[in-house]
């Protein structure tokens, strides 16, 4: 096997104090001139930004900080919880209005009792959807951060863990069935969304 060692370059010669000065012969005033004229922020002047259909926009530090905060697992989980609560409330309101409780046929229900039942059903759906959304989003974001990839496997793994945790309340068999069902559902949704 051949081995190639690059040649060693000689080190640059040491400069004398008078050669280190840039503008003025006096070293103090030269440092002042360098301070006011040179670029201390280390901004690169040779950045090449490809042009596209949209205008070029370089993000500010504030925009980068907001983007970092919005991509955090905590924000994603909280947003999924809020959106899950809203979606669950809408589905709960719809299902309670379509299928009212007809347990008491003999007596006439008042509007207040009907609205109370609708409120209970709506809040029940909202809490369940919020919990499922928060748990799924937190697990998926954690898996994505750990793996360092964004692909369909993250949703499948997160769906399996979430379904297993939800189904585990009813037993091990229900946990396994819930994990398989939720993983399959998550994979199908992920495939449909990225198609």
Measured in Å, how far apart are the chain's first and last C-alpha atoms?
A: 49
Q: What is the pLDDT of residue 88?
A: 95
Task: Choose between 163 and 50: higher pLDDT.
Answer: 163
Tell whether the model's pLDDT for residue 74 goes beyond 70: yes
Which of 193, 94, 182 has its CA nearest to residue 152? 193
User: What separation in angstroms does the CA of 105 have from each of 108, 113, 115, 116?
Assistant: 7, 14, 17, 17
Q: To which H or E segment does residue 185 belong?
A: helix 172-193
Model confidence at 18: pLDDT above 60: no
**pLDDT, position 44:** 61
- Confidence category of residue 178, pLDDT binned at 50, 70, 90: very high
Q: What is the pLDDT of residue 53?
A: 81
Which whole number is the average pLDDT over 109-120?
85
- Supply the mean pLDDT for the chain: 83
Share of the chain above pLDDT 70, in %: 77
How does pLDDT run across 127-172, given as a tens digit for each residue? 999 999 999 999 999 999 999 888 889 999 999 999 999 999 899 9
Q: Which ranges constitute the DSSP H helices of 15-110?
A: 17-20, 27-37, 61-70, 73-98
163 closest CA partner among 127, 190, 194, 187: 187
Q: Kindly tell me the sign of the dihedral angle through the C-alpha atoms of 87, 88, 93, 98.
A: positive
- Answer with the residue of higher pLDDT: 86 or 29: 86
pTM over 0.95: no
155 to each of 7, 48, 146, 167, 192, how far by Cα in Å? 52, 36, 13, 18, 12
pLDDT value at 104 more than 80: no
pLDDT category at 111 given cuts 50, 70, 90 is confident
């Amino acid at each position: 096997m051949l081995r190639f060692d690059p040649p060693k370059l000689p080190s640059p010669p040491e400069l004398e104090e008078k050669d280190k000065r840039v503008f003025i012969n006096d070293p103090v005033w030269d440092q002042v001139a360098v301070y006011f004229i040179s670029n201390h922020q280390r901004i690169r002047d040779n950045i090449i930004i490809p042009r596209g259909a949209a205008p070029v926009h370089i993000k500010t530090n504030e925009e980068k900080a907001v983007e970092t905060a919005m991509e955090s697992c905590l924000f994603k989980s909280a947003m999924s919880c809020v959106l899950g609560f809203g979606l669950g409330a809408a589905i709960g309101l719809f299902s309670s209005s379509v299928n009212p409780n007809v347990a008491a046929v003999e007596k006439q229900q008042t509007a207040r009792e009907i609205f109370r039942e609708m409120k209970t059903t709506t809040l029940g759906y909202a809490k369940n959807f919020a919990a499922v959304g928060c748990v799924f989003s937190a697990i998926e974001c954690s898996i994505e951060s750990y793996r360092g990839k964004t692909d369909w496997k993250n949703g499948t793994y997160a769906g399996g863990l979430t379904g297993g945790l939800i189904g585990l309340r009813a037993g091990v068999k229900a946990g396994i069935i819930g994990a398989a069902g939720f993983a399959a559902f998550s994979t199908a949704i992920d495939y449909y969304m990225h198609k």
